[in-house]
Amino acid sequence: MIRPSSIFGMGAMVGPAIGPSLGGWIVDNFSWRLIFFINVPIGILAFMMTLAFIRDPAYIQKPGRGADVISRSCRARSRLRSRCRSRDD
C-alpha cells in the first residue's frame, strides 16, 4: 500500500531533479510563455482538489454564521453613522 507521505516524498525528490531540465527543453523548443500555460491548469486543478478533499478538523471549524452576520451588519451600520456625523460637523 502506498502511503501519502511516500507520494509527497517522490514529488520532493523527482521535481527538483527533472524540473529544470524539462523547463529548459520547453523554453528552448517552444516559448517561455508555455511554462505559464502549463502551470495554470495544474494550479487550478490543485486548488479544486484541495477544496474537495482537505477538510478542517472539528476543533478549527467555525460555528454557524448567524451571529457573525448580525455583528458585521451592526458594525457596518455604526461605521456609516459615524462617517455621516463626522461629515456634518
Instruction: Please tell me the predicted confidence (pLDDT) of residue 11.
Output: 82
Higher pLDDT, 73 or 13: 13
Q: What is the pTM of this model?
A: 0.47
Instruction: Locate all alpha helices (DSSP H) within 1-89, ordered by sequence.
Output: 4-29, 33-53, 66-88
Higher pLDDT, 63 or 37: 37
Q: What is the pLDDT of residues 27-56, one digit of tens each?
A: 999 988 888 888 899 999 999 998 898 887
Cα separation, 9 vs 48, whole angstroms:
22
Helix, strand, or coil here: 57? coil
> Among candidates 50, 17, 23, 49, which has minimal Cα distance to 36?
23
Name the amino acid, one letter, at 25. W
Average pLDDT of the chain? 82
